[in-house]
Amino acid sequence: MVSVQTMARMIAVAIFCAALPLLVLPFAPAAAIDDPPVRIVALGDSLTTGLGLPREAAFPAHLQAALRARGAAVEIADAGVSGDTASGGLARVDWSVPEGTDAVILELGANDALRGVDPGVTRAALENTLRRLEERHIAVLLAGMRAPPNMGADYVRAFDAIFPELAAAHDVVFYPFFLDGVAADRTLNQPDGLHPTAAGVDVIVERILPAATELVARVKAKRGS
């Protein structure tokens, strides 16, 4: 016959064994907890910051949500300034892109084209911005822009060539035209014909998502190297 003391020890062992999964499981995802989110800054103009839209409908917030829905741990900061040119972005890149930033989505140039800024000036500003980010070992997604056709064939040719040439020279992730699928579509733009509606931002995010995913992958590959 089993004694009271022996029975008590058997019960205690059984309770301990049953509790083991509860003691072990919380530590299983430790690697995921230790992996910080990819910190991205969207450095751009009114197309980035979403002029005329609520913050949650603007490009940075919408892209962040889309990437998270795909399982990517990201944080995207809005560093868009309405009216900014490529030169304006260069002037503020050091303080708009804080320490700890992993990647930048560079969307500038639309205002240069609208104002007829010398393409050489735009190119130099964007190239210097890319160099500053390279020196800080920050990955970049360069979003291209195109000049309006009414600027003339020579201007359009010189301006449009800036982005693919810089992307090739600096080996960044490249998205050829930020407004692809949205430009000149009245149903996707606000009454000014220049700034996307919330539905327009949906299209932009859907189309740029593969490039943004590649940007995140580059950051993660660098962390693992």
Closest CA to 164 of 138, 145, 183, 137: 145
Per-residue pLDDT tens digits for 116-155: 999 999 999 999 999 999 999 999 999 999 999 999 999 9
Per-residue pLDDT tens digits for 148-182: 999 999 999 999 999 999 999 999 999 999 999 99
pLDDT band at 4 (very low <50, low <70, confident <90, very high): very low
Number of Cβ within 10 Å of residue 35's Cβ equals 13
Cα 82 to Cα 59: distance, rounded to the nearest angstrom? 13
Catalytic residues: 46, 192, 195
User: Would you identify the CATH topology of the domain 37-224?
Assistant: Rossmann fold (3.40.50)
Q: Which residues of 77-96 are buried (b: 16+ CB within 10 A; e: fewer)?
A: bbbbbeebbbbbbbeebeeb
Cα 15 to Cα 223: distance, rounded to the nearest angstrom? 42
What are the boundaries of each domain within the chain?
A: 37-224
Question: Which of 18-27, 85-94, 119-128, 138-147 comes out lowest in average pLDDT?
Answer: 18-27
N-terminal to C-terminal alpha carbon distance within the chain: 63
Question: Which pTM does this prediction carry?
Answer: 0.85
Closest CA to 104 of 87, 121, 129: 129
